[in-house]
């Protein structure tokens, strides 16, 4: 399980337990943030790998 999936699982559990509309909204937005965070990490990781393994520098 990736970090993103684990975090999402926790967020969804908390969302289900939420008793107020505001709390539900918070976890909905948090789930979206989690996705955006994972995407950014993946993109930066990808750029880093690409730049480290730059064949023109070998």
Q: Which residues bind other proteins (CB under 8 A)?
A: 3, 6-7, 10-11, 13-14, 17, 21-26, 28-30, 32-34, 36-38, 40-41, 44-45, 47-48, 51-52
As a whole number of angstroms, the distance between CA 56 and CA 5 comes to 36
Question: Closer to other proteins at the Cβ: 32 or 55?
Answer: 32
As a whole number of angstroms, the distance between CA 12 and CA 6 comes to 10
CB of 55 to other proteins, least distance (A): 14
Q: Where are the alpha helices (DSSP H) in the chain?
A: 3-17, 21-52
Question: Closer to other proteins at the Cβ: 44 or 55?
Answer: 44
């Amino acid at each position: 399980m990736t970090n993103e999936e684990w975090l999402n699982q926790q967020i969804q559990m908390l969302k289900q337990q939420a008793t107020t509309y505001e709390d539900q909204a918070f976890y909905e937005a948090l789930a979206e943030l989690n996705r955006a965070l994972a995407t950014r990490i993946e993109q930066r990781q990808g750029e880093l790998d690409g730049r480290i393994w730059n064949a023109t520098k070998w």
